[in-house]
Amino acid sequence: MASFPLEPNYARAVLASKEYGCTLEVLEIISVLSSSSKLFLDITEHRDAATEARRKFRHASGDHLTILNAVRSYQEISASDSKWGRKDWCRKHFLNERTLIEAKEIKDQLSQTCARVGIDWRVSCGESEENVLMSLGHGLIQNSAFMQPDGSYKQTIGQSVRKLGY
Q: Is residue 50 part of a domain?
A: yes
Report yes or no on 2 lying in a domain. Answer: no
Q: What is the structure's pLDDT at 20? A: 96
3-state secondary structure the chain: CCCCCCCHHHHHHHHHHHHHCCHHHHHHHHHHHCCCCCCECCCHHHHHHHHHHHCCCCCCCCHHHHHHHHHHHHHHHHHHCCHHHHHHHHHHCCECHHHHHHHHHHHHHHHHHHHHHCCCCCCCCCCCHHHHHHHHHHHHHHHCEEECCCCCEEECCCCCEECCCC
In a domain, 1, yes or no: no
Q: In this predicted structure, what is the pLDDT of residue 164?
A: 54
Structural domain contains residue 3: no
pLDDT value at residue 80: 86
pLDDT by residue (tens digit) across 115-158? 999 999 999 998 889 999 999 988 887 767 777 888 887 777 76
Write out pLDDT tens, residues 65-117: 999 999 999 999 998 888 899 999 999 999 999 999 999 999 999 999 999 99
Candidates 35, 14, 11; CA nearest to 24 is 14
User: In this predicted structure, what is the pLDDT of residue 62?
Assistant: 87
Q: Which phi and psi (to 5°) does residue 139 adopt?
A: -90, -30
Structural domain boundaries enclosing 105: 8-162
Overall domain count for the chain: 1
Please give the Cα distance from 45 to 41 (Å, whole number).
12
Would 30 be classed as within a structural domain? yes
Residue 49 domain-assigned? yes
| Residue 114 placed within a domain | yes
Per-residue pLDDT, averaged over 28-34, amounts to 97
